[in-house]
Amino acid sequence: MRNIVRMFVPVEQQYHAQFIQYPNLQEHLEAFDQEKCNLSWGHLLFSDASAMELTGARKIVLYRDPHSWVLARARFFLSDEFTGNIEHVKGGRISVEELLNLMIFGIYQKVPSLLDLYMHNAVAWMGTVNAMVKYEELVGAVKRIDDLESEVYFRKLLGQCGIDPIPDDWRERVKIGSDRKQSGTARENLSGLSVEIPNELPETQKKLVEFVAPGLRKLLGYE
């Protein structure tokens, strides 16, 4: 999503100083200066401060199915690309199932739970932003880039980002921006994984997601 939209925004209007998150929000308010009209990105949880500081800014929230999110989070945490305070989980001393449960329930005083992350970074923004974007729908539109349905999708999405009209070469820009080789978190670009993570969440872990966050997938449009 970030790399696609970047293909439509001049470099001088892209805010590169920092990946914006709640702890550094106050240090990077210029990213939301309406006169500069910057493109910025980050993991910004919903709060009174973030709601007020982003007044007038176009806000697009990207999220994915919690089931695939658990798997993606586990892969990233095991990879060499991730550094943090849970390096001990990379050694292969815990099973895949145990690792997935940690992704769902969180790690005490170290890693927030699935519910906390989805609540503050996605659900709480609902009804207040320009667009809530499903990762799976975005990927589907990229794969069907030559179809009329995809054109309608991207015209609407880019319009919600303030890009209207879109240039005639929009398809080529989307193709370049969505190139997985340029993504540092795409699964095939992660290195050093000591444990193989399955392609589908096991049935028990699916039930645990529902236990931890009942109704979440339905609210997000996955059931």
Q: Give, for 99, the enclosing helix (H) or strand (E).
A: helix 96-105
pLDDT in tens, 130-170: 999 999 999 999 999 999 999 999 999 999 999 999 999 99
In the chain, how many domains are there?
A: 2
> Measured between alpha carbons, how far is 32 from 131 in angstroms, rounded to an integer?
17
Which two three-digit tokens encode residue 13? 């209007």
Q: Are both 80 and 52 inside the same structural domain?
A: no
pLDDT digits (tens, 9 = 90+) for 177-216: 999 888 877 888 788 777 789 999 999 999 999 999 999 9
Same domain, 110 and 155: no
Render pLDDT for 38-89 as a digit per residue (tens, 0 to 9): 999 999 999 999 999 999 999 999 999 999 999 999 999 888 877 776 667 7
CB 51 within 8 A of CB 75: no
Question: What was the pLDDT predicted at 21?
Answer: 95
Instruction: Note the pTM of the prediction, 2 decimals.
Output: 0.91
In terms of domains, do 9 and 59 share one?
yes
In a shared domain, residues 100 and 197: yes
Which of 91-100, 111-120, 134-143 has the least mean pLDDT? Answer: 91-100
Same domain assignment for residues 116 and 13: no
Share of the chain residues as helix, strand and coil, in percent rounded to the nearest 5: 50, 5, 40
Provide the strand spans (E) within 38-184: 42-43, 60-63, 131-134
Collapsed DSSP state (helix, strand, coil) of residue 197? coil
Q: Are residues 109 and 199 in the same domain?
A: yes
First to last CA, the chain: 23
Q: Structural domain of residue 37, as residue ranges?
A: 2-63+130-180
Is the model's pLDDT at 102 over the cut of 70?
Answer: yes
pLDDT at 113: 97
Are the C-beta atoms of residues 45 and 121 closer than 8 Å to each other? yes
- Regarding whether 154 and 192 lie in a shared domain, the answer is no
Q: In terms of domains, do 8 and 117 share one?
A: no
CB-CB contact of 64 with 117 (8 Å): no
Q: Are both 92 and 109 inside the same structural domain? A: yes
Q: What is the pLDDT of residue 85?
A: 67
190 & 147 share domain: no
Alpha helices in 43-95 (DSSP H): 48-53, 66-78
